[in-house]
Amino acid sequence: MTRNLTEDQAKVLTTIERTNAIISIVACAFTILTFCFSKYFSKAINRLAFYASFGNLLSDVAIIMSREFIDNPDSAGCQIQAFIIQVFLSSDVLWTLAMAINVYLTLYHKYEARDVRKLEPVYLICCYGIPLIPGFALLFAKGHHGVRIYGPAIAYCWISSDWALLRILIFYAPIWVVILIIFSIYIRAGRTIYTVRKQVYIFQSSDLDPISVDETTSPLQSGDEVHTVGPMTDPERATIDYTLSQPDTLRALRRRNHERNNAAWSYTKCALLFFGAMLITWIPSSANRLYSLTHNNNISVPLQFVSVFVIPLQGFWNCVVYVVTSWVGCKNLFHDMWLAIRAGAIDFVGRFRRRTNHETNRENDEMQENL
């Protein structure tokens, strides 16, 4: 156990976090650019990934600063780096919570895409506004003897190592409360989706909608559509026609419910992938901080390196999920790019040939004139 890293270990750690932060920045740029300029990525869940990418981008910029200001904790560079990490590193968890809330609203309150989109301004304010409160407070807070709370934290400037308990209370504890809320939402959603899909499987070969079975035995309501093939005074023919038209209505209702359930399941799968990517980031980092807290601020070098490896990759993992959930869109985008490059190459070759032919003809004309 040690309280600090050796010089060689610090250099390796800096290289790791900067390399991974650059990878993540490239991934965030891909997410932002494709969402802004390609029609293939305009999904509801992609919009949340798009919003989260800005927080990932800013936190990666701060991580690239690495240990540059760690020996000068009162400098503007150290304080700004610590503020950005405190605010934007945790915002990614809140965006994952927003995705889970959308799953809950879609499954249990029948929210559709337009309803979910109306909530996005609220998500923006909460996901970036809530972390700003402790971020700003710590920026001006000082401990005993006027020492700032933001200061050296092994890998970069953040909450100083002397405030290990404060790190847990205002950073890691809220994050894990949010993670547990997300987990509980997905547990309930998983049970509901399993039940519904089981019903769909049982009734998929039937003409009856499992959700609307009772409608087959209910009396004719005023809103039901009835087509007659004879006078309305003929009850037998009216009954026959109603019997024939009712299955069509039920099949349409079943199809609509099936499509809604499939849409909810697709969104849930995407959100679960983002949740998994979030756990990859926060489990090693939380273990590292708990180790430090329970071992008198000593550090575990392996845990420190694992934590530094995964923390900068938030934007990268989100981009991986973004690509997986939009794989068809990615293929269409690259196909369009290939066609554009091919068309440009063909046009260039055509113009080059025309220019060559024109010069050849001009040389021939000049030779004939000389003769």
- Sketch out the chain's domains with CATH numbers: 7-203+249-325 (1.20.1070.10)
The DSSP secondary-structure symbol of 157 reads E
Residue 91 token pair: 């915002």
- What's residue 318's pLDDT? 94
- What's residue 348's pLDDT? 77
- What's residue 156's pLDDT? 94
Rounded Cα gap, residues 155 and 66, in angstroms: 6
- What's residue 215's pLDDT? 41
Sign (positive/negative) of CA torsion 78, 160, 96, 274? positive
CB 238 within 8 A of CB 220: no
Rounded Cα gap, residues 310 and 371, in angstroms: 78
Sign (positive/negative) of CA torsion 323, 328, 331, 333? negative
- What's residue 110's pLDDT? 85
Q: What share of the chain is helix, strand, coil (3-state, %, to 5)?
A: 80, 5, 20
What is the helix (H) or strand (E) element at residue 158, kind and residue range?
strand 157-159
Residues of the chain with pLDDT under 50: 207-244
Residues 6 or more apart whose Cβ sits within 8 Å of residue 361: none
Task: For residue range 121-179, list pLDDT tens digits in order.
Answer: 999 999 999 999 999 999 999 887 888 999 999 999 999 988 989 999 999 999 999 99
Rounded Cα gap, residues 227 and 239, in angstroms: 10
Question: pTM (2 decimals)?
Answer: 0.79
- What's residue 32's pLDDT? 96
- What's residue 207's pLDDT? 47
Residues 6 or more apart whose Cβ sits within 8 Å of residue 309: 16, 17, 20, 284
